[in-house]
Chain A
Amino acid sequence: MAIRERLSGNEAVATAMKQINPDVVAAFPITPSTEVPQYFSQFVANGSVDTEFVAVESEHSAMSACVGASAAGARVMTATSANGLALMWEILYIAASSRLPIVMPVINRALSAPINIHNDHSDSMGARDSGWIQLYSEDNQEAYDNIIQAIRIAEHKDVQLPVMVCMDGFIVSHAVENIELLETEKVKEFVGERELEDYLLNAERPVSMGPLDLPPHYFEHKRQQAEAMKNAKKVILEIAEEYEKLTGRKYGLFEEYKMEDAEVAIVVLNSTAGTAKEVVDELRENGVKAGLIKLRVFRPFPVDELKEALKDLKAVAVMDKADSFSAAGGPVFTEIRAALYDVEDRPEIVSYIYGLGGRDVRVDDIKKVYDDLKEIVETGKVESVYNYLGVKE
């Protein structure tokens, strides 16, 4: 029997970590993810886990300690937000390229400057090309479920890549909601033991890791890393299926909400999907064929699957809670727009950057996006491709 609880997003994540009982957690506190290592260090102190908790002096050190421990053969986790993730930058790439299966909840928060502790996705979006798998979570339940699945995805022999599990700072991390937890034994059974063959403390076959890699081999290592990311798509789906058998909760690369006959749709990540579903329901009651796609997996990018899901629409809006400052739309937008390039009669597609630094996005804001889409369909004209939603003009 599953356990019914009421937990904040951070509590849910820390609880998943407790049930996983990793060998090493190295972390440094930063709002809004501080509670994750805080709760976890309590679990360590009261003996409910036997994890080695490494209290480091910065996030650069946190990720460095994770790299060392993971290379040694440990199952390793950490957590961070915003500037903490930014300070890890150098080591994020080293973790991914060294093929170390570290799992890290990223509690999304705006990057400085100006200093802001509230939610947007500028932190994890900036790390989108670091070689980490990225899973996004709408609420505490999804964050919990994603963390447990992430361990298996990261450590799969065809993948061997680190995974970020993202959820919205404060909106999810500090909001208490109902949640269904698995029994600890079931979590332990599901995640099993780390079984990768090569690690530094393997006395059967000692290895060296992180060598100098000159032009004759570096490119091949990158190509192999790219293949691992490709493999991840299949592995993510297989593990989701196994997880569904255990919990009844279904996960894919993205969630399609009322998309069957939809003519207009928005693509969105994380908690905004909850608000947007409310809008879709209301529009549907009024006869508008509105749908929604909530991306769960942004890395690897489900390019073919998204193309298939979006191709029959008339107009799509992609909502980015981060500006890439490319002066040509948000990061998710540009990739989805590229995914649709091969579709013959492709839908119109527009970008909305919204919610930066924790600016609230309300039902009315999202309604406006659907109204714009309806207008595009009716007039056949796109007035503005690159839009900022909810900014004061």
Chain B
Amino acid sequence: MKDKKTPLGGNVSWKETTPGGIIYDAGNATRYKTGEWRSMKPVWNKDKCKQCMLCFPVCPDSSILVEDGKMTGIDYDHCKGCGVCVEACPFNVFDFVKEE
């Protein structure tokens, strides 16, 4: 009973959702995938990347993933597809494509 979870995400039907939007679990915002809003999507071409780290600080959604000081990819659960990283990259590493 204690671990009942609030169903979240793009495919939750009216039959599964909670009455009046009751929220069962604290801190559930971490499960809310705001990347669902995206209509354009940056694609990182790893081989071209020079690891200059200019994309990381400009992303407004902290969606450039970095490990041990290196860019490792994009967090698509939260990336909004704003394209700022695409513009900022001096080496044209990103493709900017339509979200399917």
Instruction: Please report A residues at the B interface, Cβ cutoff 8 Å.
Output: 97-100, 160, 198, 204-211, 213, 216-217, 219-221, 223-225, 227-228
Contact of B10 with A205 in the complex, beta carbons under 8 Å: no
Known A-B contacts A98-B20, A210-B21; A224 and B15 likewise in contact (beta carbons under 8 Å): yes
- CB 8 Å contact bits of B34-51 with A (1 = contact, 0 = none): 001000000000000000
B1 close to A221 (CB less than 8 A): no
Tell yes or no: B17 within 8 A of A by CB.
yes
- Using known A-B contacts A204-B2, A205-B1, A205-B2, determine if residue A224 contacts B14 with beta carbons closer than 8 Å: yes
Which of B8, B9, B12, B24 touches A207 (beta carbons < 8 Å)?
B24
Sort chain B's interface into a size bin.
Answer: 20 to 34
- Interface residues of chain B, those whose CB is within 8 Å of chain A, are 1-2, 4, 8-10, 12-15, 17-24, 26, 36
Q: In the docked arrangement, what's the CA distance between A228 and B2, Å?
A: 25
Query: How far, in whole Å, are A53 and B17 apart by their CA atoms in the complex?
Result: 34
Give Cα A345–Cα B74 distance, bound, in whole angstroms. 65
Contact call A207/B14, Cβ cutoff below 8 A: no
Q: How far is the CB of A307 from chain B (nearest CB, A)?
A: 26
Query: Is A220's CB under 8 angstroms from B17's CB?
Result: yes
- The complex places the Cα of A25 from the Cα of B19 at a distance, in Å, of 24
B17 touches A207 (CB 8 A): no
Among A97, A160, A216, A221, max chain B CB count under 10 A is at A216
Evaluate contact between B10 and A221: CB separation under 8 angstroms: no
| A interface majority secondary structure | loop
Main secondary structure of the interface of B (DSSP, over half): loop
Complex contact A224–B23 (CB within 8 A): no
Pair A99/B20 contact, Cβ less than 8 Å: yes
Contacting residues, chain B, for A225 (C-beta < 8 A) = 20
Bound: A73/B94 CA distance, A:
53
| Besides the known contacts A210-B20, A224-B19, 9 further A-B residue pairs in the complex with CB atoms under 8 A apart | A98-B21, A99-B19, A204-B1, A205-B2, A205-B4, A207-B24, A216-B10, A216-B36, A228-B19
A221, B7: Cα distance in complex, Å: 12
Closest residue of B by beta carbon distance from A224: B14
Instruction: Given A205-B2, A205-B4, verify A211-B36 contact (CB < 8 Å).
Output: no
Q: Complex: how many Å from CA A210 to CA B15?
A: 19
Contact, CB under 8 Å: A213 / B10? no
Name the one of A98, A213, A227 contacting B14, with C-beta atoms under 8 angstroms: A227
Closest to B33 in A: A216
CB-CB under 8 A from B22, the residues of chain A are: 198, 207-209
Some 19 contacts from A to B, beta carbons below 8 A apart, are A97-B20, A98-B20, A98-B21, A99-B20, A100-B20, A160-B19, A205-B2, A205-B24, A207-B23, A209-B23, A210-B20, A216-B12, A217-B8, A217-B17, A217-B21, A219-B14, A220-B17, A221-B14, A225-B20
B11 → A minimal CB distance (Å): 9
Question: Which residue of B has the minimal Cβ distance to A199?
Answer: B22
B-chain residues with CB within 8 Å of residue A227 when the two chains form the complex: 14
Q: From known contacts A99-B19, A213-B21, infer whether A220 and B13 are also in contact, taking CB-CB under 8 Å.
A: yes
The chain A residue sitting closest to B11, CB to CB, is A216
Q: Which of A204, A211, A223 lies in contact with B21, CB distance below 8 A?
A: A211
**Shortest beta-carbon contacts, A-B, top 5:** A223-B14, A220-B14, A208-B23, A99-B20, A98-B20
Residue pair A221, B21 in contact (C-beta under 8 Å): yes
CB-CB under 8 A from A216, the residues of chain B are 9-10, 12, 36
Roughly how many angstroms separate A211 CA and B18 CA in the complex, as a whole number? 11
CA distance A98 to B14 in the complex (A): 15
Q: Which of B4, B12, B36 contacts A220 (CB 8 A)?
A: B12
Return A130 CB to nearest CB of chain B, in Å.
14
Assembly CA distance A219 to B14 (angstroms): 8
Contacts of B23 in A (CB 8 A): 207-209, 211
With a CB–CB cut-off of 8 A, which chain B residues contact A160? Answer: 19
Give every chain A residue within 8 A of B8 (Cβ-Cβ). 217
How far, in angstroms, from A211 to B23 measured CA to CA in the complex? 8
Q: Smallest CB–CB gap between A194 and chain B, Å?
A: 15
The docked-state distance in angstroms from the alpha carbon of A206 to that of B3 is 10
Contacts of A217 in B (CB 8 A): 8, 12, 17, 21
Give complex CA distance A324, B10 in Å.
Answer: 39
